[in-house]
A and B are shown apart, each in its own frame.
Chain A
Amino acid sequence: MADAELMKMVAEGDPVSGRRFADQYQLLVYNVCYSFIRNRHDAEDVAQEVFLEAFRNAGRFRGDAKISTWLYRIAVNRSLNYIRNNRKRRFWQELSAVFDPGPSGSNSQEFEMSGDTTDGRLKNREQKSVIGEALESLPENQRIAFTLNKMEDLSYAEVAEVMQLSLSAVESLIHRARLGMQKKLKHYYF
């Protein structure tokens, strides 16, 4: 079924097409959201919001672009909005997580085995987020272009389509993002 036809059926409220649409694109949407948000639960929430927006606006999809391009655009915008709106909340979450990592924390075993204390936890969490922090510190456009190209494996042309920029602009953004990442990671790891 072609993209436009599938979206037409989704817009009409056909549950079979809706399920097919959700099943086909959920990984794409979730992984984009997760690449930006870096928290599984929050990314799942935002991915659901992306799909609800897509279902609501399915009738507006004209088939000029691919469904994936359209979804990438919604997912990136939603994720960045989420990050902007939740900076304060995240600060308090991270602070409480440092002092109370909980039994399900992925690093709790390491702490127990090495007998680490709060200092160890802080260091571990700091190390854990270096690559993510480096990515977050990039200017927004560079971050989007880099994430879509490297992590989501989109070509430069596809990134240009999602970001509605020229190919040369995307090339420049990715090049600058690589240099920025290199500078930050080198500073930390060497």
Chain B
Amino acid sequence: MNCAEAERLIIDRVFSGSVLQPDDELNAHTVVCAACRSFHQKCSADYETSFADRKRLPDPDFYDKLFTGEKSGKTHKELKSHSVAPLLRFAPGLSAAAAAVLLGVWLGGRLFTTIIPANASSGVNPELLRADYIQSYAADLNLTDATDMALENYLNFNAESDDTE
């Protein structure tokens, strides 16, 4: 047996604990090879420390802890019916996603209402807008003449008639 084979066997034995039967060939090798002997000792000691809390005896109160602990908060009978736990688990995430979408829509809307009028006013002649406005106002009042003068006359006349009444 060479050292590489011995190392692999040592790793198997260290991790398998006492499950494996003693290996005479490996033992013979570690007797004559100080490096492998040291490797075995260090690995074993390290394993013992690293996995010291593996349990060999069951906890008699485990079942009670399971259903009286904070984790469950339910009895075995209550637990058997499928709960809405998966739904609740995803609910905060879904709510956050929905809120983000709504916020995005709202911010986008705000942005467009700020940008569009500015662009719109810059491209349209204000004189034309005024003329359109006066024309539609005259049409509402059933005036055939849609000039400033005609509108003024109409408004002055109606104001006087209101006063006399």
Write the residues of chain A forming the contact surface with B, with a CB cutoff of 8 angstroms.
10-15, 18-19, 22-23, 26-27, 30-31, 34-35, 38-40, 43, 45, 48-49, 51-52, 55-56, 58-59, 106, 127-132, 146, 150-151, 153, 178-179, 181-182, 185-186, 189-190
Write the chain A residue with the least CB distance to B44.
A131
Q: Is the interface of B mostly helix, strand, loop or mixed?
A: helix
Write the residues of chain B forming the contact surface with A, with a CB cutoff of 8 angstroms.
4, 7-8, 11-12, 14-17, 19, 35, 38-39, 42-43, 46-47, 49-60, 62-63, 65-66, 69, 71-72, 76-77, 79-80, 82-83, 85
Bound Cα distance from A58 to B81, whole angstroms: 10
The smallest C-beta distance from A13 to any residue of chain B, in angstroms, reads: 4
Q: Is the interface of A mostly helix, strand, loop or mixed?
A: helix
The smallest C-beta distance from B64 to any residue of chain A, in angstroms, reads: 8
| Residue in B8, B19, B58, B83 whose Cβ sees the most chain A Cβ within 10 Å | B58
Q: In the complex the two chains form, is A48's CB within 8 Å of B69's CB?
A: yes
| Residue in B35, B47, B71, B80 whose Cβ sees the most chain A Cβ within 10 Å | B80
Q: In the complex the two chains form, is B46's CB within 8 Å of A131's CB?
A: yes
Q: In the complex the two chains form, is A15's CB within 8 Å of B50's CB?
A: no
Q: In the complex the two chains form, is A48's CB within 8 Å of B71's CB?
A: yes
| With known contacts A34-B53, A48-B65, A190-B35, A131–B80 Cβ distance under 8 A | no
Q: In the complex the two chains form, is A52's CB within 8 Å of B43's CB?
A: no
Bound Cα distance from A102 to B155, whole angstroms: 93
Give the contacting residue for A185; candidates B43, B51, B53, B72; CB below 8 A. Answer: B43
